[in-house]
Amino acid sequence: MMNRQLRRASGKTDKKKEREQQKRKEARTVARQASRQARSNRVPGPPTARSPGRYAGWLALASAVIMSLQAVAPQLERTTLTSIVDALFFVIFGYFFSLFLLRRLVPRAILVTVGIGTLLGAGIELAKYLQVATADPIRVLIAVPALIIGAWIAKALYLQAQK
């Protein structure tokens, strides 16, 4: 008598579990079909172009660190070519930093880039002055125009990518 009651009770719980599993399975099927339907009814928008300069912030920081390290490291002889190469790092910094700012929709990104780059250049010259190293007039003269050129190149690329 007891075994029959136990079998009957366990049979009822088994049937109840099966019904619940079936309901969950049907609910998942309905949800899956609804998401497929929503995906198929979606109106495709215009293709989105990726904005250039994903790593521009990191590259601007890296170029600033390299420029600072060049100022700290003593140079055996300074030629015109080494001064021009040092100044061309400002083009790289201006390009990456203005691209970083343009990507974040900062107003007056070129002006901010030139200001920060000028402060960076002044800091580098101050570091050279504190080391009793001679100032580099060629690099000082080329730095700001190089910043502006780098920033303009970045803005042209950014605007071209927006079209």
Task: Tell me the one-letter amino acid at 135.
Answer: A
| Angle at CA of residue 142, ends 53 and 118, nearest 5° | 60
State whether the Cα torsion 138-76-116-66 is positive or negative: positive
Q: What is the pLDDT of residues 116-159, one digit of tens each?
A: 999 999 998 888 888 777 778 888 899 999 999 999 999 999 98
Write down the mean pLDDT value for the chain.
Answer: 86
Whether the pLDDT of residue 98 is over 80: the answer is yes
Give the residue, 114 or 51, on which the prediction is more confident. 114
Q: How far apart are CA 140 and CA 122, in angstroms?
A: 9
Percent residues over pLDDT 90 in the chain: 44
Question: What value does the mean pLDDT take over residues 24-40?
Answer: 88
Distances (CA, A) of 162 to 51, 52, 59, 69, 92: 7, 9, 21, 35, 22
Q: Which residue has the tokens 């071209």?
A: 160
On whether both 94 and 157 belong to a single domain, the answer is: yes
What pLDDT is stored for residue 161 in this prediction? 86
On whether both 142 and 122 belong to a single domain, the answer is: yes
Question: What value does the mean pLDDT take over residues 96-102?
Answer: 94
Whether the pLDDT of residue 49 is over 70: the answer is no
What pLDDT is stored for residue 36 in this prediction? 84
On whether both 26 and 103 belong to a single domain, the answer is: no
Structural domain range at position 105: 56-162
Q: Is residue 51 part of a domain?
A: no
What pLDDT is stored for residue 26 in this prediction? 94
Q: How far apart are CA 113 and CA 57, in angstroms?
A: 12
Q: How far apart are CA 98 and CA 101, in angstroms?
A: 5
Are residues 163 and 148 in contact, defined by beta-carbon separation less than 8 angstroms?
no
Q: Is residue 50 part of a domain?
A: no
Q: How far apart are CA 162 and CA 108, in angstroms?
A: 17
Question: Domain tally for the chain?
Answer: 2
Whether the pLDDT of residue 1 is over 70: the answer is no
pTM of the entire predicted model:
0.67
DSSP string, 59-128: HHHHHHHHHHHHHHS--S---HHHHHHHHHHHHHHHHHHHHHHHHTT-TTHHHHHHHHHHHHHHHHHHHH
Residue 60 — very low, low, confident or very high, per pLDDT cuts 50/70/90? very high
Whether the pLDDT of residue 45 is over 70: the answer is no
On whether both 40 and 67 belong to a single domain, the answer is: no
On whether both 80 and 153 belong to a single domain, the answer is: yes
What pLDDT is stored for residue 89 in this prediction? 93
What pLDDT is stored for residue 74 in this prediction? 73
Q: How far apart are CA 137 and CA 148, in angstroms?
A: 18
